[in-house]
Amino acid sequence: MERLILILFILSETFFNIHAQSGTDVNAVLTKLFVTDGYNKKIRPIKNQSLPVDIPTEFVLNNIIEFDEQNEALKTAGYLFLYWKDEYLAWNPSDFGGVEIIFVPQDDIWKPDVTLANSFKTFTGLGSSFLNVRLLFDGTIFWYPFQVLESTCSVDITYFPFDIQSCDLKFTAWSYEKDDVDLNLGSNGISLKDYTPNNQWDVVSTSSNEINTGESAVNFTIKMKRKPNFYILNIVAPVILLSLLNAFTFVLPVASGERAGYSVTVFLSLAVFLTIVASEMPNNSENTSIFSVYLMTMTTFSTLIVMLTLVEVRLSIRTIPDQPINKFYQVLYKLSLLLQCNGCRTRDKVVPLQNKDENPKDDTDVDENVYDLPANWHDVLDSIDFLLFWFFVIVTVIVTTACMLAARNGGIK
């Protein structure tokens, strides 16, 4: 039955020859329906009032105008396509010169008070009074109210910028129960036949379902995926580059006197991105994005690096006789030597001059201990720089890779 009506609708313009109708005949039909029969638009259009009016519904999405993540609102343009049978609006075409189809203003007939239930701003009926409905001689009415819809849509930002958002559009015949008006799904659910692509969001899939709680409502779901390139180029890539610069603080010699300034600059740049990202994200604490966590981790590293740098600057003004190099720094120095594999190289097997003078007799023990000891604080600083540089490079690469993979893979699912 639904299929048949749909086919009739599609054919209506060609099949029912509107152009063969004369104005006088159409006027006669209108007079019969609205004057002679005394049509009352307050009556539910079914003669047996214990039966529901069956209204198949389809949503045609024209475009996604805007998705406001911060306010969690989706603005779309589209129209509903609804049809039903009004038993009080039927006529016999052969009595009226073959008139089969007429147009009447939507406010002149009974129609369900369909509204967008999860509306973000206004709560109004669909369509406007200037729209017409198409009326077939057997009483079938085709109504396709166009509307710019603003719906609420809760945002899940976890996988930003690879996130997929799922937004519902719930339409309900507000005053009616399912027993009065049966709003149900037409054959198509959401149709994308008139869809114009959006430059920020791709529609991945759509679905629709009826709500079976006695409420007369249908639910259309649009799943959309962010196009990530803009955010990768403008936010993600700069942050990753800054994180690498962070580690390179330890390449700059302490003696240059610019190291503290450099590390603070990197810290401030990261802080700027923290602000930018915060302004892009919805102000909710329900879910945190992996990228925010990454950015926060990098800012924490940066803070650590600033602190370590300041400590190193302080160490750099120490002198040997006054402040001897204690065990802790000796261990760091040895560790650094070990990692640099200095012991494997023959050219390093030169006994430091100063030690030779002090212990000229211990020639045999010398290769075990003596050249493993730092000669001055400068050596200690070099080894600390070496260790910290590689530590931060490796940790940054690991954390970056892990976060990006997590966001990417999570977003794909």
Interface ranges with ligand NAG (CB under 6 A)? 48, 50-51, 168, 170, 207, 209, 211, 219, 221
- Sign of the torsion formed by the C-alpha atoms of 239, 280, 231 and 408: positive
| Smallest separation, CB 170 to ligand NAG (Å) | 5
For residues 385 and 309, give the distance between their C-alpha atoms in angstroms, rounded to a whole number.
9
At its nearest, how many Å lie between ligand NAG and the CB of residue 51? 5
Amino acid at 402: A
**Closest residue by Cα to residue 183 from 306, 379, 42, 52:** 52
Q: How far is CA 50 from CA 139, 180, 181, 229, in A?
A: 19, 8, 11, 56
Contacts 24+ apart (CB under 8 A), 401-404: 403/290, 403/291, 403/293, 403/294, 403/297, 404/236
- Looking at the Cβ atoms of 212 and 346, the one nearer to ligand NAG is 212
The Cα–Cα gap between 190 and 111 comes to 21
Q: With beta carbons less than 8 A apart as the criterion, state whether 51 and 177 touch.
A: no
Q: Among residues 169 and 298, whose Cβ is nearest to ligand NAG? A: 169
CB of residue 294 to ligand NAG, shortest distance in Å: 29
Closer residue to ligand NAG, CB minimum distance, 30 or 74: 74
Task: Provide long-range contacts, Cβ within 8 A and 24+ apart, for 17-23.
Answer: 17/98, 17/100, 18/100, 18/101, 20/98, 21/97, 21/98, 21/99, 21/100, 21/101, 22/97
Q: State which residue, 152 or 284, has the beta carbon closest to ligand NAG.
A: 152
Q: Determine phi and psi for 170, rounding to 5 degrees.
A: -110, 120
Smallest separation (angstroms) from ligand NAG to the CB of 83 = 22
Q: How many CB atoms lie within 10 A of CB 393?
A: 16
Query: Could you tell me the smallest distance in angstroms from the CB atom of residue 59 to ligand NAG?
Result: 12
Q: How far is the CB of 213 from ligand NAG (least distance, A)?
A: 9
Q: Which is nearer to ligand NAG, 40 or 207 (CB)?
A: 207
CB half-sphere exposure, 265, CA atoms < 13 A? 8
In whole angstroms, the minimum distance from the beta carbon of 180 to ligand NAG comes to: 13
**How far is 297 from 304, CA to CA, in rounded Å?**
11
Rounded to a whole number of angstroms, the minimum distance from the CB of residue 260 to ligand NAG is 53
Of 101 and 218, nearer to ligand NAG (C-beta) is 218
* Residue of 181, 163, 185, 165 lying closest to 173 (CA atoms): 181
Q: What is residue 171's three-state secondary structure?
A: strand
Closer CB to ligand NAG, 114 or 239, in the complex: 114
